[in-house]
Structure 1
Amino acid sequence: MNLELTPPVHKRAGARVVADFWKRLLRPVAVNNDAPARAWERIAVLLTAAAAAADGETRARERISELLAFYTGSNDADKQRLLERFCTDLNVDEQAVGRRIRQYTEAATPAARTAAEGQLVASLESPRQRVLQQFNLLPNGVHALVDLRADLQRLGRGDAFLALEQDLLRLFRGWFDVGFLELKRIGWSAPASLLEKLIRYEAVHEIKSWSDLRNRLDSDRRCYAFFHGRMPDEPLIFVEVALVREVATNVQTLLDETQPTLAPEQATTAIFYSISNAQPGLRGVSMGEFLIKRVVQQLLVDHPRLKTFATLSPIPGFAKWMEKRLADPACRAALPAELRRLLDSAPTPADAIYRALLQEVDGDLPRQPALQAWLKAECARYLLREKSGRLPLDPVGRFHFSNGACLGQINWLADTSRRGLRQSFGLMVNYLYRLKEIEANHQAYARDGSLAATSEVERLLEEGSTTRRRATQPAGESKRKYE
């Protein structure tokens, strides 16, 4: 007889106790569309007790579980109200902070100053922070808190919610430190639920079908993601890579399912063509820069023949920036006559450019060298000269420059999708990750905002300046600097 087929009675009873405990702990709380007053009275009691943090771990779990069940079962209005309670009812005790500051400044000995410093730091930890930390006690608590911050970004706009936003961001920067993250390669054999999340979370180039996804996970393609131990089934951020023989200049060609598959051992170049943050609630938590560097290290181990690491990146703010520039008559007047005629052929200059590019893509117009040279030069200016403070205006450029990348080249009609033509007039760029230069580029960027670019891109920048000088220079007048 196989006695192991039926567990002993005491084991079955113990399993039931554990199951009943977690079922009771995580049971949903029935909440009306608008929570009644007695429910809010109960929430006030739970928040006060959780902030005191005076009970044991079991009671703390029960409280946080009840708070979470209330929150997840609420409509947006009640969610917003609870977020407001976090902000108004759980602030730092300003009088206590004041007393600790006086104790610190009046401390007579090094020992007294050290003790006062510790007490001051403790007084600056808000009760709200103590409550948020207790979500970590629940199996799903970290994921729930990430979702809560996503709700906060959607519902809690305004200065009144800044304290909660700062506390959550501070907490997540500790919990999701790169040392706690695991890099995993996602292949076609991954669970269907995970593959569905890749389709849903892809933010750069829409995954249009299962065959499209399978192509992106083929033998000459790679997908890597960071995972956290408390969210094991949820990718936090992922990058898609193509193993090719040369730097890619067109995303439609790169994603074409009919293209032949390259044997990975024949590849010499890795193209990072899509990086997607999968969790809106982790916005502001730095993971992308570490992801790229970890993936480069992994690729070098798996494929030692790889020599070039580059991106094929969108320029999401370029078209809007151009629209603002072209709204200025003086800017349009500085263009050659051929381009001015083109811009006047539609209700707005942006529409005129879009229509001309669409006709070129569809084969209704021949190649337009003047338009190409002008747009590429303006794009070089946008990426290298236009800044917000000391930082590049373009968000994708800001990310790659800060990682130590070099702006390699600007590609004409690299994204011919309607979205690509509207967003960046079809332009895409290659950022180069030259292993010997990454650290120096990063240091120069951090020190004084210096942006690394190849001579090809610098030449585009100079050609654009020359074109503007010539267009604004009266006949016979000596050259003068245009700005």
Structure 2
Amino acid sequence: MTILAELLSTVFERRYRRESSKLKLDGRPLIELATALVGTAGETSGLALAREILSRFAELEDQEKLAFFHDIATTMDIDPELVRTTLEDYERDHSKASYRAFSEAVEPARQELIRRLNQVPGATGALVKMRADLLRLGGKEAELQALDLDFRHLFASWFNRGFLVLRPINWESPAHILEKIIAYEAVHAIDSWTDLRGRLEPADRRCFAFFHPAMPDEPLIFVEVALTQGIPGSVQALLAEDRETLAPEEADTAVFYSISNCQAGLASISFGNSLIKQVAADLSAELSGLRTFVTLSPIPGLMRWLEQEGMSREGKDAEQMKALAAYYLLNAKSRGGLPYDPVARFHLGNGAKIHAVHADADTSEKGMAQSGGTMVNYLYDLQRVAQNHENFANTRAVIATAEVKALAGPVALPKTEER
């Protein structure tokens, strides 16, 4: 935000607080305040109601939050009969009025509630937290899943790529941002400030994050990058404290070794695709010697899948684990025909290809528990990612190098009752 924007925001915030404080809000239940907010036409009264709802919701216990979600899911749902009537009117007369009436009928009032809540300065972050509560408490309840779709529908617009700001994160970044990088790191835990410094300060390390103007102090997603010569096959070697720092102009490879989503309330709102491609483009412009863009990624579903197939890591050497990992990445599918592994779904869906599989690549406790120590490189060929993405979206075919396919070829799984 610019200094002028911050000044204007402060002025308006103080004005709204002053005017809102003059309103005497009664002790009505939260759902009644929500209904009043959707029905109000006054700007000042609407802001006061929105502020009161957000403030009171934040103080609720989990069961009270769940009850509020149920209330707005049921009382602010669409009216099927009105939808049918307005659709029939539109079918008879394709006019502006009939289309408006149908559009208003098919949009539940709870979407307007969320929009009006978002008018309060700072409300976007509060609504992201509200959706995180909904996902955490709502489980698989059908009516709450419908409410979640309303949040997702609005968030997909509010957080589209055009609103996101890519910012580099380095050792000189504000401490409160660095603290959040430590807290949100979801792939390779950052154990200390010294550990963080080793990932940010050296000349051959980069970190980038997407921010939203409405949440300027909250990273949405960030990626950690290592500049290397050649493609690495071990995250411990990549992060070793005693490694020799490489001059950036000598690097020929950019390795995306950790991508972390930061906001639970923005689940299913995709940022990673744009982040990786933007960072790759920026690094290409900065360092002309870069020729290769790859990940060094975990294979988090491997051990769980092997257990389902009646297998374990016990008694298997490194080459056997590599072969099993390659087979898993190429052949293990979910019910929808997509790769079973969530990280594979993400990168293949972005247009990457499976480049190489490595054994003993992550010997941490988490790495051994999730993937038996194996890791995988996904290659981002910037000239082919769009074509690969389209191919994967249309056919769900897993693109991999001949070496990976050959590695997976001899694997024979045991026959179990489930199979």
Partner of 1:375: 321
> Does the 8 Å CA contact 1:184/1:224 hold for their aligned counterparts?
yes
Partner of 1:136: 118
- TM-score, with structure 2 as normaliser: 0.91
Q: 1:160: Cα distance to partner?
A: 2.8
Partner of 1:5: none
> Does the 8 Å CA contact 1:251/1:414 hold for their aligned counterparts?
yes
CA distance, structure 2, for counterparts of residue 59 and residue 266 of structure 1? 61
SS of residue in 1 equivalent to 2:47: helix
> Does the 8 Å CA contact 1:50/1:130 hold for their aligned counterparts?
no
Matching residue within 185, 196, 215 for 1:213:
196
SS of residue in 2 equivalent to 1:137: coil
Flag the 1:237–1:26 CA change in 2: closer, same or farther, 3 A. farther
1:440 matched to 2:387: yes
Query: Cα deviations across residues 148-178 of structure 1 (Å, max 9, x unaligned)?
Result: 0000111122113122101000000000001
Aligned amino acid, residue 400 of structure 2:
A
CA distance, structure 2, for counterparts of residue 23 and residue 449 of structure 1? 56
Q: 1:210: Cα distance to partner?
A: 0.4
CA distance, structure 2, for counterparts of residue 310 and residue 196 of structure 1? 27
1:45 matched to 2:32: yes
Partner of 2:304: 320
Flag the 1:436–1:20 CA change in 2: closer, same or farther, 3 A. closer
SS of residue in 2 equivalent to 1:326: coil
CA distance, structure 2, for counterparts of residue 267 and residue 372 of structure 1? 29
CA distance, structure 2, for counterparts of residue 398 and residue 460 of structure 1? 20
Q: List gaps (5 residues or longer) in structure 1.
A: 1-14, 31-37, 328-348, 357-369, 473-482
Aligned amino acid, residue 37 of structure 2:
A
Flag the 1:23–1:430 CA change in 2: closer, same or farther, 3 A. farther
SS of residue in 1 equivalent to 2:226: strand
> Does the 8 Å CA contact 1:25/1:66 hold for their aligned counterparts?
no
SS of residue in 2 equivalent to 1:174: helix
Flag the 1:425–1:48 CA change in 2: closer, same or farther, 3 A. same
Matches within 5 A, 1:64-143: 64-107=50-93, 111-112=94-95, 115-143=97-125
Q: 1:298: Cα distance to partner?
A: 0.5
SS of residue in 2 equivalent to 1:276: strand
Matches within 5 A, 1:467-478: none
The sequence identity of aligned pairs, in percent, is 41
Flag the 1:51–1:94 CA change in 2: closer, same or farther, 3 A. farther
> Does the 8 Å CA contact 1:185/1:222 hold for their aligned counterparts?
yes
Flag the 1:20–1:378 CA change in 2: closer, same or farther, 3 A. same
CA distance, structure 2, for counterparts of residue 142 and residue 408 of structure 1? 39
SS of residue in 2 equivalent to 1:238: strand
Deviating more after overlay: 75-84 vs 238-247? 75-84
Query: Cα deviations across residues 40-79 of structure 1 (Å, max 9, x unaligned)?
Result: x342432222222x41322211110010111011121211
> Does the 8 Å CA contact 1:241/1:271 hold for their aligned counterparts?
yes
> Does the 8 Å CA contact 1:248/1:254 hold for their aligned counterparts?
yes
Query: Cα deviations across residues 261-287 of structure 1 (Å, max 9, x unaligned)?
Result: 111111110000000000000000011
1:167 matched to 2:150: yes
Aligned amino acid, residue 131 of structure 2:
R
Query: Cα deviations across residues 233-259 of structure 1 (Å, max 9, x unaligned)?
Result: 100000000011111110011111221
CA distance, structure 2, for counterparts of residue 182 and residue 24 of structure 1? 33
SS of residue in 1 equivalent to 2:284: helix
1:56 matched to 2:50: no
Matching residue within 128, 132, 142 for 1:150:
132
Flag the 1:26–1:436 CA change in 2: closer, same or farther, 3 A. farther
Flag the 1:371–1:72 CA change in 2: closer, same or farther, 3 A. same
CA distance, structure 2, for counterparts of residue 98 and residue 183 of structure 1? 44
Partner of 1:409: 356
Aligned amino acid, residue 57 of structure 1:
E
Partner of 1:239: 223
Q: 1:321: Cα distance to partner?
A: 0.5
1:297 matched to 2:284: no
> Does the 8 Å CA contact 2:210/2:275 hold for their aligned counterparts?
yes
Flag the 1:230–1:444 CA change in 2: closer, same or farther, 3 A. same
CA distance, structure 2, for counterparts of residue 17 and residue 143 of structure 1? 18
Matching residue within 241, 254, 260 for 1:270:
254
> Does the 8 Å CA contact 1:26/1:69 hold for their aligned counterparts?
no
Flag the 1:63–1:250 CA change in 2: closer, same or farther, 3 A. same
1:187 matched to 2:166: no
Aligned amino acid, residue 84 of structure 2:
G
Aligned amino acid, residue 126 of structure 2:
A
The structure with more radius of gyration: 1
CA distance, structure 1, for counterparts of residue 400 and residue 191 of structure 2? 34
CA distance, structure 2, for counterparts of residue 455 and residue 420 of structure 1? 26
Query: Cα deviations across residues 171-191 of structure 1 (Å, max 9, x unaligned)?
Result: 000000011101110110011
Flag the 1:303–1:19 CA change in 2: closer, same or farther, 3 A. same
Flag the 1:21–1:104 CA change in 2: closer, same or farther, 3 A. closer
CA distance, structure 1, for counterparts of residue 32 and residue 70 of structure 2? 16
Matching residue within 387, 394, 400 for 1:453:
400
1:310 matched to 2:305: no
CA distance, structure 2, for counterparts of residue 209 and residue 222 of structure 1? 18
CA distance, structure 1, for counterparts of residue 72 and residue 410 of structure 2? 55
Q: 1:141: Cα distance to partner?
A: 0.5
Aligned amino acid, residue 22 of structure 1:
R
CA distance, structure 1, for counterparts of residue 274 and residue 219 of structure 2? 15
Q: 1:93: Cα distance to partner?
A: 2.2
Matches within 5 A, 1:6-21: 19=14, 21=16
Q: 1:133: Cα distance to partner?
A: 0.4
- TM-score, with structure 1 as normaliser: 0.79
| Runs of 4+ in structure 1 over 3 Å off | 15-21, 23-27
Q: 1:145: Cα distance to partner?
A: 0.3
Q: 1:429: Cα distance to partner?
A: 0.4
Q: List gaps (5 residues or longer) in structure 2.
A: 1-9
Q: How many residues align?
A: 403
> Does the 8 Å CA contact 1:129/1:167 hold for their aligned counterparts?
yes
CA distance, structure 1, for counterparts of residue 33 and residue 247 of structure 2? 59
